[in-house]
Structure 1
């Protein structure tokens, strides 16, 4: 919803992603968490809590759109990612959910640290409306106050780690120890898949990597297999066993957790022996621990004493000269009189389970890695309405495909400053895309643009050698050709503070114009409607970066016939 009167539940990729997830596991749960809000929600205040009724209405309309448009049930909803919470808003959100038929959508709070515990402990009404306390990056520990409160505890965002063997080992350890140490019964990875251009924030931090859509190349990374040790042999609704009776630390270091199905027919035990030096997580408390190879005796009692064997799945994270072995099915572990012997070496995961449904997926070799192909062009015809344009990595603003007749084009839709999660973005009144390859140096970027008469931006820009995205977008360097309605500016920054050259330029809103920027070595050529407005020197630094396009201020702008080539 770019505007309060405009409900559109077709834009973006998340609807598709949720439906694809449901195809694979109909029982999967869906959790919606706002990271930012449209500016109109805050009524110019910059805060979603300025009018809590309006914000609750916005969020619940999104939940309703998921259900009515896509038949997707949002099971959980958060408050605001890693930002201060507001008690009045949380209570209002619960009331609006209930009033509109979403009593089963549960509230998680507050997706930051454990600081909401104090308010929960002294406010019974707040306790009643919060289903679970969600903490981000708890380092496998919760506070004693959180544990004593009696609420469900979640690590509602975790991992955020390079997805190599160390990342896999970190994730293996966190998945177990969040419950062993912190009594957290849910652990959610950020992020699901690394599908960002290399060097954008998080570009190598997904559970797997797929960041070359032009060729289909992907990498199935170690964290995927660490996840499988738990997710293939449990379901949402299974219960952890009690500490000391199926959950705890191993005698020589490492951890184990036991989980049982709701009907108590199945048991799964996950063990890990990740070492401190090889499983460091970015967000961990840096307390060193020791792990040694060990022989174990496993004893099953009570309901499980009659088990004769358990299926075994094995992973070895490859450190210290050992090869990596991921999610390998081994011979079942035999039990006699409820006991079995097992040897665990360092940096291993073992799953023992009564479930016989485990399967290591088989996939063909992925296409080979290739760089972004040049020349590249897109006229934006043939897209679905409101679809995101291919390869434009949107850092600030919102760009989607619209059409006039058969002619498709991209429009920047945001007309006022948003309420961002990333405070570094506060105050930058620009929309900004990057695309291509951060190693590009000598390139030419051209496109057609139009500034609508109503609600149009003050100008647009085309860029090359752009160095930065994400929360640091405001400080990006590069070569930027800004086409304003009364002049042009060539600068090395988005803010037009580091000016190389400026001069006369004019155009009328409502009509299409062509703009191009070509950089080669220490020279740039700027062309507007086939006329060269500058051909001269530029700084040697930055020497390389992405191509870029965007708007000089928030406001509508249309883009078409994008073309990129070497210069």
Structure 2
């Protein structure tokens, strides 16, 4: 069937169009689907929804829990908020209603946002209850028994192949993970015998397929290669055994990385391979800012590349706020101590497909395309149920320049009578009432009807019912206060302590050694892992980016020769090197050698002070403490101050525990005391816009221009007012008025803190923030209120766009 892109030649419309228009117009106008007194700016598009059309089988839209720790804090949420977040992710007819969940097979190594624990730290080890991915899969299945589950490793413990990922050890390792899934009454639908975005080969893929068949896992499908290529399809012609072993080809960012997803790519060989094609990782974008790309990509991955599955990275933004990816996910849930969460627009962009379709439905190729044949006008895809009893059309108009009329006719055995339901989301809006809003039904006449769609919207036109929008709401945001203590006695062995997030290695609760009763936290990774990022020493972190003057203290016991660390004022981390982080460290070895270190995101380590104290030895308990008071750092061992150092590079940040590589040390009685002292951490919320002063994309590059963005509690929105009147972010960067800072209109930036007057600010009782050198006010440009509005300095005028509240 064709899509008529030419303007209609006659002034009138056929009778069926007039009748459908008269029946639908009044109700649709009131509901916001159609605007009165606005002639559609673009030509009408005629679409025949033909149930006899050919098309591929839909495999579902889902999300990825993995790539290291992005879901970590969710399990620590209190009820009912934890269940509410899970409902928004998985419950049909409520929120995202995800149809596929891909989880990381933990490997004790940092795989983007942190590290997830392995079920087998060393050869012969097995614990099927480690980590939280089992729990997430169980909760997903409980809410939606039909959800498809996948497993994928990013890294692995070092014993696999003695450091060689693609080895015979990998086959047994994956089989043992599937055995753990069975213990949790979970059926895994797909397994990936490859290292995410790093390596795969035909021999390993075939070997794993044969092992699955031989061990009772014949129903588990194999997907490869989880990279940016279509290389599996290129090898099928010369390797029939590989072709027979593979069920689906998964490609990452087929519509571009961190892109608007306007155009997606594939290969003719892959399209004609006879295998399902999946856009198996996409997104990596903010829980609100990624919605428009999602709306495009879910449709266009099929239109451009014949991809029948689509997965967003990642599932939930539930990681520490100093993380580069702290707001990436479908729901923001990074404050388990307060129960606060925020449902992003991304949820509703996905819901327009997931709530109205199911895996196994069929795409109708002749009823899918670009509006008016022009991808700038938007796209539409249509799917039908296997029994032809229902259909749904998903329309997106993200880039359209005006309203468009869709003239629709139904044929090919699909329903032609009864109401057609319309749901709409205005992705240009920030009002939750505009997301997945039920519109007035349309009653077709003779299987024909029409509606007008507005630019910047998603629509679903459907004959299905049962959809809905969750009503649960979040409590207010709150800070994690001090003192903070944990003796680890309340956890099951093998689990992670509350709020403690592994960044490298595996810190888990275990029975204490060294003659101590009770439970401790033990770093359990016994050797360097097969990494996904650059290898670093194991460490774990917790806390708030606002913590300033405090002392972190812990009992420690080394199980073998090496060292242990306490970390403080932990801030940002370099993209691909977890060891390149802004932090201070107290390092003490079994020999008694100690040092106060400073590390940064350039992977530089500076020794601020060092010395020797009584040897800690192994198998004996000691108490370490690292204190901060302004620029003074104090190291204490067993109650005795062994040294101090002066340094002001980092003013605030999280606390942490660390060890040398392979050091299976233990920690007990964590205690973090003190307060913010010399600085006050602020989220600066613009009174006019209701949005916060934000460093876009968590950038840490000097000269990055600042803007307004939805307040989300991320480290890129936390500003510490120092005693020197600097407004610091990340503990290292200062609010700077820009190169023309003495002139109204200069755009503010972040810059390395220098102590200059130009970087000093007065936070005034009337809500203004004035630059100490120029006297100009911090200003939302042109009184803008939208995300991305530039933040500048301007002559103070008393406007609401120059008033900022602190929270």
| TM-score above 0.5 | yes
Whether 2:202 is the aligned partner of 1:87: answer yes
Give 1:249's aligned residue.
370
The equivalent position to 2:553 in structure 1, one of 446, 449, 466, is: 446
State the secondary structure of the residue aligned to 1:179: helix
TM superposition shift of 1:291:
4.9
TM superposition shift of 1:545:
2.3
State the secondary structure of the residue aligned to 1:135: strand
Give 2:585's aligned residue.
480
CA contact (8 A) 2:190 2:223 kept: yes
Give 1:490's aligned residue.
596
TM alignment of 1:188-337, pairs within 5 A: 188-242=311-365, 245-251=366-372, 253-275=377-399, 291-304=401-414, 306-318=416-428, 325-337=434-446
TM superposition shift of 1:324:
6.8
Taking a change above 3 Å as real, the CA distance of residues 509 and 234 of structure 1, as seen in their structure-2 partners, is: same
TM superposition shift of 1:382:
1.3
The equivalent position to 2:488 in structure 1, one of 380, 385, 409, is: 380
Q: Counterparts of 2:454 and 2:467 in 1: how far apart (Å)?
A: 23
Whether 2:220 is the aligned partner of 1:101: answer no
Whether 2:250 is the aligned partner of 1:134: answer yes
TM superposition shift of 1:62:
0.6
Alpha-carbon deviations, 1:485-539, whole Å to 9, x = none? 12001110298941111111211211111100001111111111001101242x2
State the secondary structure of the residue aligned to 2:636: strand
Taking a change above 3 Å as real, the CA distance of residues 122 and 523 of structure 1, as seen in their structure-2 partners, is: same
The equivalent position to 2:159 in structure 1, one of 16, 28, 40, is: 40
Q: Counterparts of 2:179 and 2:324 in 1: how far apart (Å)?
A: 32
State the secondary structure of the residue aligned to 2:352: helix
TM alignment of 1:5-84, pairs within 5 A: 5-43=124-162, 46-49=163-166, 52-67=167-182, 69-78=183-192, 79-84=194-199
TM alignment of 1:503-514, pairs within 5 A: 503-505=611-613, 506-514=615-623
TM superposition shift of 1:80:
1.5
Give 2:46's aligned residue.
none
TM superposition shift of 1:235:
1.5
TM superposition shift of 1:163:
1.4
State the secondary structure of the residue aligned to 2:349: helix
TM superposition shift of 1:145:
2.6
Task: Please say which of residues 369-378 and 114-123 is displaced more in the overlay.
Answer: 114-123
TM superposition shift of 1:293:
2.1
Give 1:371's aligned residue.
479
Give 2:306's aligned residue.
183
Alpha-carbon deviations, 1:377-416, whole Å to 9, x = none? 1100111111111111211000111135961210000011
Q: Counterparts of 2:657 and 2:440 in 1: how far apart (Å)?
A: 56
CA contact (8 A) 1:81 1:112 kept: yes
Task: Please say which of residues 456-465 and 389-398 is displaced more in the overlay.
Answer: 456-465
Whether 2:569 is the aligned partner of 1:465: answer yes
Taking a change above 3 Å as real, the CA distance of residues 317 and 76 of structure 1, as seen in their structure-2 partners, is: same
Q: Counterparts of 1:479 and 1:231 in 2: how far apart (Å)?
A: 46
TM superposition shift of 1:10:
0.7
Q: Counterparts of 1:549 and 1:482 in 2: how far apart (Å)?
A: 10
CA contact (8 A) 1:260 1:266 kept: yes
* Structure 2: gaps spanning 5 or more residues: 1-119, 256-263, 676-807
Taking a change above 3 Å as real, the CA distance of residues 406 and 311 of structure 1, as seen in their structure-2 partners, is: farther
Q: What is the root-mean-square deviation in Å for CA atoms of aligned residues?
A: 1.8
Alpha-carbon deviations, 1:165-213, whole Å to 9, x = none? x311111111111111111000011111000111303211101111000
Q: Counterparts of 2:123 and 2:480 in 1: how far apart (Å)?
A: 38
TM superposition shift of 1:477:
2.6
The equivalent position to 1:529 in structure 2, one of 638, 649, 654, is: 638
Alpha-carbon deviations, 1:98-132, whole Å to 9, x = none? 11010110110000012413223432211111101
TM superposition shift of 1:255:
0.9
CA contact (8 A) 2:230 2:266 kept: no
* Structure 1: gaps spanning 5 or more residues: 276-289
CA contact (8 A) 1:381 1:406 kept: no
TM-score between both structures, scaled by the size of structure 2: 0.64
Number of residue-to-residue matches in the alignment: 535
CA contact (8 A) 1:466 1:479 kept: yes
Alpha-carbon deviations, 1:448-486, whole Å to 9, x = none? 11112xxx3501000112223473321113211101112
CA contact (8 A) 1:308 1:336 kept: no
Q: Counterparts of 2:381 and 2:494 in 1: how far apart (Å)?
A: 46
Give 2:279's aligned residue.
155
Give 2:20's aligned residue.
none
Taking a change above 3 Å as real, the CA distance of residues 531 and 76 of structure 1, as seen in their structure-2 partners, is: same
TM superposition shift of 1:359:
1.3
Q: Counterparts of 1:142 and 1:475 in 2: how far apart (Å)?
A: 36
Alpha-carbon deviations, 1:530-565, whole Å to 9, x = none? 01101242x211222221211022221111111112
Q: Counterparts of 1:497 and 1:160 in 2: how far apart (Å)?
A: 30
The equivalent position to 1:565 in structure 2, one of 673, 678, 681, is: 673
TM superposition shift of 1:159:
1.3
State the secondary structure of the residue aligned to 2:197: coil
Whether 2:240 is the aligned partner of 1:124: answer yes
Q: Counterparts of 2:401 and 2:555 in 1: how far apart (Å)?
A: 61
Taking a change above 3 Å as real, the CA distance of residues 457 and 367 of structure 1, as seen in their structure-2 partners, is: farther
Taking a change above 3 Å as real, the CA distance of residues 153 and 522 of structure 1, as seen in their structure-2 partners, is: same
Taking a change above 3 Å as real, the CA distance of residues 174 and 496 of structure 1, as seen in their structure-2 partners, is: closer
Give 1:419's aligned residue.
530
Q: Counterparts of 1:223 and 1:497 in 2: how far apart (Å)?
A: 39
Higher alpha-carbon Rg: 2
TM-score between both structures, scaled by the size of structure 1: 0.91
Give 2:60's aligned residue.
none
